[in-house]
Amino acid sequence: MSAEITGADSGTKPYDLLIFDWDGTLADSIGQIVRSMQIAIAELGWEPRTDLEIGQLIGLGLSDGLRKLYPDIGQREVNELLGCFRQQWMTLGTGQAEAPFFAGAEAVLQQLFDAGYVLAVATGKSRPGLNRALGWHRGMHSLFMATRTADETADKPNPLMLEELLVELEVPAGRALMIGDTEYDAAMATAIGMDSIGVATGVHEAGRIQRAGALAVLGSVRDLPQWLAARA
């Protein structure tokens, strides 16, 4: 992870803006999400779903994901399951309310920030959920210049959250890179002519992410500095 990244003033960085997904990309949260949802489903007495079925929807906004999991439910049922899920999320884990970052992720973000990259987040989390996560991981909030969540714009794979970030940060799509663990991340970038890469730490397998348009699938975010250095 010690690959040298081109500095901000050299004019040879391959991108100006790096946009990260959160769950499965930066945060090792897949297991906690699936367990929380399984407990919520059981408590409400709903028809069971497999871990795989739940996991494949991670990356979408929770409301949209639940409607894919249970196509016939209405908004009242969605809200009921969401409330139970969030309660379980806050009580699961090993003494912490938020999922930990993958090993080396925080150091990589700091390294990229120090190298002059603008960092942003585009996530299927809710705004309260992302704010809690940023508050838990102290020091991370100051690294991200802008963030978008699924409950304040269109959900993935609609590219609206990326378009809004580009406008806010005044960066053209050709100078931005989306980094995520699902086909939804790659698909929304592809839709607006933005490059994307995947990471193999989430729920979608590499071929699925690449078929959606990703340039490559890295083992984890820890491999990103070396990949960027090779493209500079």
Between 173 and 137, the higher pLDDT residue: 173
Q: Which residues contact 60 (CB under 8 A, 6 or more apart)?
A: 68, 124, 150, 155, 156, 184
Q: Does the pLDDT value for residue 9 go beyond 90?
A: no
57, with CB counted inside 10 A (0-12, 13-18, 19+), is buried
Gyration radius from the chain CA atoms: 17
Least Cα distance to 65 among 44, 85, 47 occurs for 85
Question: Which residue matches tokens 């490559």?
Answer: 216
Give the distance, in angstroms, between the CA of residue 115 and the centroid of all CA atoms in the same chain: 22
pLDDT tens per residue across span 124-138? 888 988 988 898 887
Q: Is 138 left (phi over 0), alpha (psi -120 to 50) or beta?
A: beta
> Would you state the pLDDT for residue 138?
79
Residue ranges of domains in the chain, CATH in brackets: 17-28+101-231 (3.40.50.1000), 30-91 (1.10.150)
- Residue 116, pLDDT above cutoff 90: yes
